[in-house]
């Protein structure tokens, strides 16, 4: 978490909107826009529900752990 000054947000918003409108290389452009604004932040917390059908969940968990983010997994055992 960090407080973002209005002027910084307005500048970033223009970069983000341009990235979102990009046809070729949109993902890379959005990643670059995110890197601009996502700095000097403190993670307060996160929560998620595991979706075994969703692709990329194990890779995402691994990436978070490599970044030093503590990940807790809870198995409720409901077998849903």
Read off the pTM.
0.54
**pLDDT tens over the chain, length 80 residues:** 788 999 999 999 999 999 999 999 999 999 999 999 988 887 777 776 665 657 787 788 888 888 888 877 665 555 54
Q: What is the pLDDT of residue 20?
A: 94
8 A C-beta contact, residue 15 and residue 33 = yes
Beta-carbon contacts of 8 under 8 Å, excluding residues fewer than 6 positions away, are 37
Q: Which pLDDT value is given to residue 80? A: 45
Report, in angstroms and rounded to the nearest whole number, the Rg of the chain calculated over CA atoms: 17
């Amino acid at each position: 978490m960090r407080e973002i000054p209005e002027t910084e947000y307005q500048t970033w918003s223009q970069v983000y909107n341009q990235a979102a409108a990009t046809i070729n290389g949109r993902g890379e452009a959005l990643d670059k826009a995110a890197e601009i604004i996502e700095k000097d932040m403190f993670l307060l917390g996160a929560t998620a529900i595991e979706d075994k059908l969703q692709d990329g969940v194990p890779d995402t968990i691994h990436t978070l752990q490599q970044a030093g983010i503590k990940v807790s997994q809870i198995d409720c055992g409901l077998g849903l």
